[in-house]
Structure 1
Amino acid sequence: MERAPDLLDRKFVAPAPNRYWVADFTHISTWSGVAYGAFVVDTYCRRIVGWSAATSKEATLVLDALDMALWQRDRREHPHQAGELIHHSDAGSQYASFRLAEHLDAAGHRGLDRLGR
């Protein structure tokens, strides 16, 4: 699969809210085993606008964080405008999944932007 282009060109300063969202996830060691936390940051205000935690790193982990971000911004009367929002992430399998691409399209995002590590 071909990687999506870096639409932000490594410039993580947005001109307004809900223009550039950066997403990633990490693993967290606990006494019970490994947990995973995913997050979405609005680069305009440097605020986490969506997050998710799970015991597996399936695509649902990142979808839930994206859904929370969309809900949170709509709830706070800062809805994203279709065609203006760029979702930026690495090229991991969760972010390269067809489920996420379909989800972003359905939400009206302008582009899916992924970086290789």
Structure 2
Amino acid sequence: MNSKDKYENERKSIRLIFHEHKGRYGYRRVTAEMRNRGYEINHKTVQRLMNEMGLQCKIRKVRYRSYKGEVGKIAPNIIERNFIATAPNRKWATDVTQINVGAVKLYLSPIVDMFNGEIVSYNISTSPNLEQIYDMLDKAFAKYDCLDGLILHSDQGWQYQHYGYRKRLEEHHIIQSMSREGNCLDNAVAENFFGIMKSELLYAEKFETPEAFMKALEE
């Protein structure tokens, strides 16, 4: 049996999912939907089959890079791609992404709970700075009396290396974890949230103003 015959049904389903979502799904989201439909298939196989069929996600990725070299202290990668949490507030992920609305650049900084994908808190700003990160943290801390032993994972962005950020985590007995340099898969939970948000909100609608986008994001 050749490869094409082996994956005949998978190819049909992949093509169907891709066109159902108007080409907005990349191989990771197609893989997730395939599993929802009962297929046992990994993302590498889906990626290869999509490439063979010429199915490329139409969404243009805009990624804000916060890494500026080592400006503070690098934390170890405690998560090590183990994104499974057995209860809320055990493992959180955070990152910053750039969002273009017309000529305006916005920066979204959320905290995502690995247990259920819930957005614990977020800040959206016209400038990626420490005040944005502190506001996001303060909103999260205000929700819970005790976060002892929580792991908060990020990339090696300069904000997360900063003494003020690390100090805030220490004060709440939160363990800091960081991705390896330049390895976005180490922070896949935050990356996946950004992909979904951009596919289903930012690129799915036409926003005339930053305020219109921010209102839709809140909703």
TM range (shorter): 0.7 to 0.9
Instruction: Tell me the TM-score normalized by structure 2.
Output: 0.47
Q: CA deviation at 1:32?
A: 4.8
- 1:113 correspondence with 2:204: no
d(CA) in 2 for partners of 1:35, 1:58: 12
- Amino acid in structure 1 at the alignment position of 2:147: Q
- Which ranges of structure 2 fall in alignment gaps of 5 or more residues? 1-69, 183-219
Q: Which has the higher helix share?
A: 2
- Counterpart of 2:105 (choices 11, 19, 34) is 34
In the TM superposition, structure 1's runs of 4+ consecutive aligned residues that sit over 6 Å from their partners are none
Q: Distance in 2 between matches of 1:62 and 1:81?
A: 18
Q: CA RMSD in A?
A: 1.5
Distance (whole Å) between structure 1 residues aligned to residue 142 and residue 116 of structure 2: 17
Contact 2:93 2:113 in 1 (8 A): yes
Contact kept, 8 Å, 1:18 with 1:80, in 2: the verdict is no
| Structure 1: gaps spanning 5 or more residues | none
Equivalent of 2:79 in 3, 8, 15 = 8
- The structure where strand makes up a greater share of residues is 1
Partner of residue 201, structure 2: none
Partner of 2:166: 101
Distance in 1 separating the partners of 2:147 and 2:95: 22
Query: Which of structures 1 and 2 has the larger relative contact order (alpha carbons within 8 angstroms, sep 6+)?
Result: 1
Whether 1:63 and 2:134 are equivalent positions in the alignment is yes
Identity of aligned residues (%): 30
Q: Per the alignment, in what secondary structure is the counterpart of residue 104 of structure 1?
A: helix
Alignment pair present for 1:81 and 2:155: no
Q: How many residues align?
A: 110
Is 1:47 the counterpart of 2:133 in the alignment? no
